[in-house]
Structure 1
Amino acid sequence: MESQTQVGITFGPTYLLKLYLAGAVGGSVFYLVHHALLAPSSKGKHMWSFDPSNVPGLGASGAVNAVMLLDIFLFPKKTLYFDFIIPVPAILLGIFLIGKDMLRIMEGDNRISGSAHLGGATVAAIAWARIRNGRFRF
């Protein structure tokens, strides 16, 4: 079992750190936008009556998602283990994870932030597009 992601091995620790931090920022932005624009409007409040001090947010899920999904985007045929047991192609796990986060948002799940995860996924998609176009800087 690998202790490092293929992203860290391929692009180095500096790139991995930049990706992680960008994923954290992207996840935080998506989380705040989601709570500022969607959550208050569902309660009948005006969308600009948002008070950011009342929105709890904790975790690095956007950052972790950015690293994990870039690894999946770059190596879609790699075998990963769902729940540490079931071997699946990475691309199927990636589709499942993104779909699950979209479902969390649609269902209004407030225990795990699907919006923060999708922020990290967006950072991964941007990084993947830049790598494919030959621009390795982040």
Structure 2
Amino acid sequence: MTMKYTEDHEWIQLEDHEAAVVGITLHAQDALGDVVFVDLPEVGRTYAKGEVAGVVESVKAAADVFMPIAGEVTEVNEDLRADPSLANTDPLGNGWFFKILIKDMEEFDQLMDEPDYVKFSKANG
């Protein structure tokens, strides 16, 4: 499965040709520290690329979770809502935030792949 990354430290992984899963990266959860609360988007709502779709709060800070590409939210991770620490313990797996129906695959194709994201993260510490 193909995973891409944003400059705002979200990841998005294709599930099939029109559906994807979204979460925060290892870099983001490391910068935030212990996550204590997540505000997830509303299922059925359509978001534009870059629009705030949620919030993650830690003992150190709060940060917006941005929509990596335009799409409609089809599911949210209720396990994450019940146990926000999943964003720390498994941010690329069980700590996913929401699933979307992709509106424009070209937006997905324009995101960074893993090597580019690693370079970006190191350069923008």
Q: Give the TM interval when normalised to the shorter protein.
A: under 0.3
Task: Select the structure that is richer in strand.
Answer: 2
Task: Select the structure that is richer in helix.
Answer: 1
What TM-score, normalized to structure 2?
A: 0.27
Specify which structure has the bigger relative contact order, considering alpha-carbon pairs within 8 angstroms and separated by 6 or more residues.
1
Max radius of gyration: which structure? 1
What TM-score, normalized to structure 1?
A: 0.25
